[in-house]
Structure 1
């Protein structure tokens, strides 16, 4: 750790705290603490004796408290290093070759018409795809062209799942939620807004090239929004199981299954609409 003498010497040479800290390899706030014995909190309640300490600047020290954050993966040199490390790691290369974009089959193989079971299985498929998307490195993490292409394929698969899932919900699930739950209108409105946000993000992601920073940023946004939406819908499903009988849930599931099978292979990119079940 630098000494007080080292910090003060650099200040006397005309450097400010940021420059002195960079020379010494410490944060600016730490350099200020070493020189003065006071935290760089930007406070204005210093005593006269404290204000006269060596190294005390005449202006506020607030700018030394929280230095600007830096994302190291945004640098080309870091990306190149990641690529070299990945290429040199035999186990990583072997794992990448074995990994594909197939989320696997559902563990539940029986046919069910229970509405929350049907929709939960869709959630499971999307969650599995999001895990694949996260584990396969993209451009920012030094991913290979094949890996970035694979991430694009995963986004296509998410589109396919949601293309049938969300329109069927809009046609049958949310009208039922409005009808049978006391706070159904608020729940449905919140869910539909989440779906609109997710659909817009997914559309932008599908239009972006997989080997770009934009794709990586949008993939993070989509993952966050879909996970939040799935968690929200799970709470709604629990309320529906309490409010509807097994037969009612099965009847609703049959309607939803028919609507889902009739949907196109890509999601609607315009506004949402609801239909009474």
Structure 2
């Protein structure tokens, strides 16, 4: 059994409680308790006499009380165990296979008419896809082949979904912004630059295999770009609701919804300039 004199002798030699405990084969918190008779977690209020007991350091001792923090999900053995459990779980594997990859919810519910609400609703669907992609483990996190395939499928849908969302904004939103807001031209130009940058990243993500280390970084970049686009659009929407009559917003919203339901324009059709 470790004695108080053993601990205090090591402390007198200049060792800290962690090193003293390591040499004695005793946890640091217990070493402190042996030396001082006090718990290392600092519970309660110490009297003046307790504060000056032999072995009391001049700083907090709470770090001695608990074991070092460990993240079990970063351990190779834990990841291997989780993979084995996932493979053995038949119902979960079947549910994963049957679950389709698609944006959540209806794109244009009947009770959503205002242009700003229509586009906000579609933004929510894009956000849900980004969350699906970013909750999947990446190659650097030990993703299984099934998880990589899932990531590929979500990335493809995420890359294709804005194919009709961005044109809707170019035809219905940004021309309105240019006309209705004092700084609308600058706002529209900035938004279109963001759209072009985001489109390039999505195209690069679509070309990158899911087992490539760049896939994870591209997925993170797409998520950041989508969030930036939505935050910027939300600020513009708030200003449009204050300056543009509701009937105008609803008319433009109906045009966007009708275009979505009718499908993309025929090949070779010219899109109106933003």
Specify if TM > 0.5. Answer: yes
Identify if the C-alpha distance between structure 1 residues 89 and 206 changes in structure 2 by more than 3 Å, giving closer, same or farther: same
Q: What secondary structure does 1:112 align onto?
A: coil
- Cα displacement string for residues 29-49 of structure 1 (whole angstroms, at most 9, x for unaligned residues): xxxxxxxxxxxxxxxxxxxxx
Instruction: Give distance in 2, aligned partners of 1:147 and 1:181.
Output: 45
Equivalent residue runs for 1:61-210 within 5 Å: 83-89=79-85, 98-99=95-96, 100=99, 101-106=101-106, 109-210=109-210
| Structure 2 equivalent of residue 245 of structure 1 | 245
Instruction: Give distance in 1, aligned partners of 2:169 and 2:229.
Output: 13
Shift of 1:83: 4.4
Larger radius of gyration: 2
Shift of 1:111: 4.5
Q: What secondary structure does 2:214 align onto?
A: helix
Instruction: Give distance in 2, aligned partners of 1:214 and 1:184.
Output: 36
Instruction: Give distance in 2, aligned partners of 1:125 and 1:218.
Output: 19
Shift of 1:262: 3.9
- Cα displacement string for residues 73-107 of structure 1 (whole angstroms, at most 9, x for unaligned residues): xxxxx796574143145599676764543443249
Shift of 1:263: 2.6
Equivalent residue runs for 1:2-21 within 5 Å: none
Indicate the larger mover: 153-162 or 123-132.
Answer: 153-162
Instruction: Give distance in 1, aligned partners of 2:107 and 2:264.
Output: 24
Instruction: Give distance in 1, aligned partners of 2:82 and 2:254.
Output: 48
| Structure 2 equivalent of residue 220 of structure 1 | 220
**Conservation of the 8 A alpha-carbon contact between 2:86 and 2:93:** no
Identify if the C-alpha distance between structure 1 residues 167 and 205 changes in structure 2 by more than 3 Å, giving closer, same or farther: same
Identify if the C-alpha distance between structure 1 residues 107 and 218 changes in structure 2 by more than 3 Å, giving closer, same or farther: closer
- Cα displacement string for residues 183-214 of structure 1 (whole angstroms, at most 9, x for unaligned residues): 11111111111111100000000011112111
| Structure 2 equivalent of residue 229 of structure 1 | 229
Instruction: Give distance in 2, aligned partners of 1:108 and 1:257.
Output: 6
Q: What secondary structure does 1:105 align onto?
A: coil
Structure 1 segments unaligned to the other structure (5+ residues):
7-77, 265-272
Instruction: Give distance in 1, aligned partners of 2:206 and 2:78.
Output: 26
What root-mean-square deviation, in Å, do the aligned CA atoms of Structure 1 and Structure 2 show? 3.1
Instruction: Give distance in 1, aligned partners of 2:235 and 2:92.
Output: 36
**Conservation of the 8 A alpha-carbon contact between 1:103 and 1:132:** no
Identify if the C-alpha distance between structure 1 residues 156 and 90 changes in structure 2 by more than 3 Å, giving closer, same or farther: closer
Shift of 1:150: 0.7
**Conservation of the 8 A alpha-carbon contact between 1:149 and 1:211:** no
Instruction: Give distance in 2, aligned partners of 1:92 and 1:168.
Output: 45
Structure of greater relative contact order (alpha carbons < 8 Å, 6+ residues apart)? 1
**Conservation of the 8 A alpha-carbon contact between 1:79 and 1:140:** no
